[in-house]
Structure 1
């Protein structure tokens, strides 16, 4: 059977929405078909098992998180300073928070991975590769700070987005999302 890439993407986007809004238990073929507005049975033609659906959904979340080419180009413009790091991190966090279902689905996938060793291995490899790529990019682009800077930013800003999307009232009195990103970057010791 010839697969339609647009339909596959629509099914995965529907799976992301189902995960974000219903949790892993709500991710069924029928839920995906309904959300995607396709005939019942369509998702099962594209994904061989629930594990396959989960794995491919995790790949799709990464596709949707990727910045546009313009954002990548902006990273390489101008001096490599603390202000540039803050600007890039604000753009990253704003992009992640702008599509909450993608981020929330990622959290659901991580929770589901605690019960599914194959999904855990897949997610661990993907996230580790992404972190390594971010470290390499940071260092090769001449940004201040090194490996530990990227690790601290990864830890702090992922939790900031999690808090912002799940319990927004906790940090509301501390400032805007962008202001909190600046606070994190300001607290870093950036050599280089």
Structure 2
């Protein structure tokens, strides 16, 4: 197996772009090599098989979507409140919109996981770890709500993002409308005390 970490990352980023643009059926080693502009056969030197590539793409998407800790620290400067949760969720939406190919690739990975038990296991682990980290962060920060509220927020934001990326005109045809939907979602889940 090849050991150049920068090239591995470039191949994974190329695979994310292929998934986002062409779907899981378009994800081949040849397509990854073409997108990464590497010689044919390079991707197959880095990944044992398609399942290994898919599993590592899942990890890479998560890395790309994880915010910088300094950015989070700046966001967390205000006192814990429902308004802070709105700001955090708006920031989440902005980051996901900016990472469009990563989000679409994750949707493709989730669909592919329905047919690939090993990928489903990897995604369950990765997504669960991220959710647990976010839940712990929320509770330790003293933000309003409990674990059940966070589960509902996770599901609501997931649905909102799927709608935005697949049928954007359905609910929010402008960034302002999307911001307002985020605020309404948070306000309904975390009513003022």
Please tell me the TM-score bracket, short chain as reference. over 0.9
Cα distance per residue 1:112-170 (max 9 Å; x no partner):
00000111111111111111111111001100111112111111111111111111110
Cα distance per residue 1:80-103 (max 9 Å; x no partner):
011011001110111011121100
Does the 8 Å contact 2:61/2:102 carry over to 1? yes
CA RMSD of aligned residues (A): 1.6
- In structure 2, stretches of 5+ residues that fail to align are none
Structure 1 segment 40-119 matched on structure 2, within 5 A = 40-119=40-119
* Structure 2 CA distance for aligned equivalents of residues 132 and 68 of structure 1: 18
Q: 1:142 to 1:182 in 2, by over 3 A?
A: same
Q: Deviation of residue 190 (structure 1)?
A: 4.9
TM-score by length of 2: 0.94
Find the counterpart in structure 1 of residue 29 from structure 2: 29
Cα distance per residue 1:13-39 (max 9 Å; x no partner):
110011111111100000000000000
Does the 8 Å contact 1:144/1:191 carry over to 2? no
Number of residue equivalences: 192
Does the 8 Å contact 1:145/1:190 carry over to 2? no
Does the 8 Å contact 2:82/2:190 carry over to 1? no
Find the counterpart in structure 1 of residue 188 from structure 2: 187
Does the 8 Å contact 1:149/1:188 carry over to 2? yes
Find the counterpart in structure 2 of residue 135 from structure 1: 135
Q: Could you list the structure 1 runs, at least 4 aligned residues long, displaced by more than 3 angstroms after superposition.
A: 189-192
TM-score by length of 1: 0.94
- In structure 1, stretches of 5+ residues that fail to align are none
